[in-house]
Structure 1
Amino acid sequence: MNIKLVFAAALMVSASAGLNGQQSDSTLTVLFAGDIMGHDMQIASARDNSTGTYSYD
């Protein structure tokens, strides 16, 4: 018998058995964090000289 087929079947059965005992929740929260950085050219191109502010839109 093909060992890959047996392994795949066992994996599917064990995964589905584990999901049956869990409570369902419809909320997912994801948080991303990273560096805030800008190179000289990016900073200069974002500057609005008339207001003295920066816009990165």
Structure 2
Amino acid sequence: MFVKPVGGCEIADPERGDLLSLEGRDVPENQYWLRREAEGVIERTAPPEAKPKGKG
């Protein structure tokens, strides 16, 4: 699931050992992230669209 922090919250990502960036990232749908979502400190969102690769 792709998530972003809400309102500038600093959310630890225990698997990566850093903070969830403001741009968000794909994380596993497990108890840790589901609890953060229930707390209202993260929100699910669509991942940013990949930029098309140019030719040449």
TM-score norm. by structure 1 comes to 0.21
The structure carrying a bigger strand percent of its residues is 2
The TM-score, its normalising length taken from structure 2, stands at: 0.22
Compare the two structures and name the one with the higher helix fraction: 1
Q: Which protein has greater RCO, CA pairs closer than 8 Å, 6+ apart?
A: 2
